[in-house]
Amino acid sequence: MEIRRVGVVGCGLMGSGIAEVAAKSGFDVIVCEVDDEVVENGKSLIRKSMDRAVEKEKMTLTEQEVAWGHLHFTAEVSELENSDIVVEAIIENLDAKAELFQQLDRLCPDHTIFASNTSSLPVTDIAAATSRADQFIGLHFFNPVPVMKLVEVVRTIATSQETLDRALQFSRALNKVPITAKDNSGFVVNLLLVPYLLDAIRQLEHGVATVEDIDAAMTLGLGYPMGPFILCDFVGIDTLYQISEIMFDEYRDPRYAPPPLLKRIVTMGRFGQKSGKGFYDWSGEKPTALSV
Ligand code: CAA
């Protein structure tokens, strides 16, 4: 069955990007958040990103208006009942995701596909909470979603071929490039990215170099678009911490163990760009490194 109506649950950094891209691709999108205040915040994230796309000449004002017309916002999960696919992008917590999908399982028609944007939880663990594990898939997008072309399409041992095909088709319709990965925590990208970011923090703990110099090393020496500490702030330091805890729990491999400094920074509420402070202070024109 053709996908026309897309439900997106969670309108933070990732959910807002997924909703924006789906609306720009002509899908009717219902975006659900926990309450009206968070809905307003999500709306403004999408508005800002679309304004930036217009400014960068990636979109015309007319296209922006049309895309905006495809978006509908709600604080009621029940409004997702007519979705052909629901993409979940809420907090990285198994219980919260399982509870949401159980609710959706009761609500949505038989043909609805369920997709999680989880970056590190095994998709199988979430799918097992529903009665439609064959129609459950991982769709892992990358931040900033409107710019990054990749989607990791994650198939569990229960995902049907038809669901995989529909998810690949949907990803391409969003103008993304899908790759298929099996359901191992971290999939392809985070399996490589997380040890790299944690190693940069360990370098800092060992006093190898400063935050700015390690970042300069990776941008100027290897041509990476962002150094590891800017990237930590961009991804969210709390998010990185959660992901590494989940991956360490899964593999019991010290490569994924969060270094103590990461934990300290999270404890101090320095979550990165979104909270104004992380490894850098984001309050000025340019980010400036903070002491650690
Ligand atoms: N909508 C559409 N296009 C946009 C846009 C928007 N809102 N904002 C910017 N763009 C376009 C620009 O027009 C530009 O396109 P061209 O190259 O064709 O000109 C391109 O995006 C880059 O934009 P900018 O020039 O404004 O910005 P930049 O060159 O400083 O790049 C960046 C910004 C794309 C974020 C770049 O720094 C980058 O690629 N960083 C790495 C990001 C990354 O690694 N993301 C993955 C994080 S991991 C993750 O998300 C998953 C997880 O589970 C942890």
Mutate which of 147, 230, 245, 286 for ligand 1 pocket (most atoms within 8 A of beta carbon): 147
Q: Is pLDDT above 80 for 32?
A: yes
Please report the pLDDT score of residue 1 as a whole number: 76
125-136 pLDDT, tens digit per residue, is: 999 999 999 999
If one compares 169 and 292, the residue with the highest pLDDT of the two is: 169
> What is the whole-number distance in angstroms between the Cα of residue 148 and the centre of ligand 1?
6
Q: Is pLDDT above 90 for 31?
A: yes
166-175 pLDDT, tens digit per residue, is: 999 999 999 9
> What is the whole-number distance in angstroms between the Cα of residue 231 and the centre of ligand 1?
12
201-254 pLDDT, tens digit per residue, is: 999 999 999 999 999 999 999 999 999 999 999 999 999 999 999 999 999 999
The whole-chain average pLDDT of the chain stands at: 97
3-state secondary structure the chain: CCCCEEEEECCCHHHHHHHHHHHHCCCEEEEECCCHHHHHHHHHHHHHHHHHHHHCCCCCHHHHHHHHHCEEEECCHHHHCCCCEEEECCCCCHHHHHHHHHHHHHHCCCCCEEEECCCCCCHHHHHCCCCCHHHEEEEEECCCCCCCCEEEEEECCCCCHHHHHHHHHHHHHCCCEEEEEECCCCCCHHHHHHHHHHHHHHHHHCCCCCHHHHHHHHHHHHCCCCCHHHHHHHHCHHHHHHHHHHHHHHHCCHHHCCCHHHHHHHHCCCCEHHHCECCEECCCCCCEECCC
- Of all residues in the chain, the percent with pLDDT exceeding 90 is 98
Whole-angstrom Cα distance, residue 112 to residue 124? 17
64-119 pLDDT, tens digit per residue, is: 999 999 999 999 999 999 999 999 999 999 999 999 999 999 999 999 999 999 99
Asked if 8 contacts 51 with a C-beta cutoff of 8 angstroms, the reply is: no
Q: Given pLDDT bands bounded at 50, 70 and 90, which one contains residue 192?
A: very high
Nearest CA to ligand 1 atom 18: 58
Average pLDDT over residues 271-283: 97
Taking CB atoms and a 6 Å cutoff, what residues make up the pocket around ligand 1?
49, 52-53, 56, 58, 119, 142-144, 146-148, 190, 225-226, 231, 235
Q: Which domains does the chain have, with CATH numbers?
A: 5-182 (3.40.50.720), 190-283 (1.10.1040.10)
Asked if 86 contacts 104 with a C-beta cutoff of 8 angstroms, the reply is: yes
**What is the sign of the dihedral through the CA atoms of 153, 7, 76 and 11?**
positive
Q: Is 92 a catalytic residue?
A: no
Question: How far are the Cα atoms of 59, 88, 95, 160, 280 from residue 128, in angstroms, in the given order?
Answer: 40, 15, 12, 14, 40
Please report the pLDDT score of residue 90 as a whole number: 97
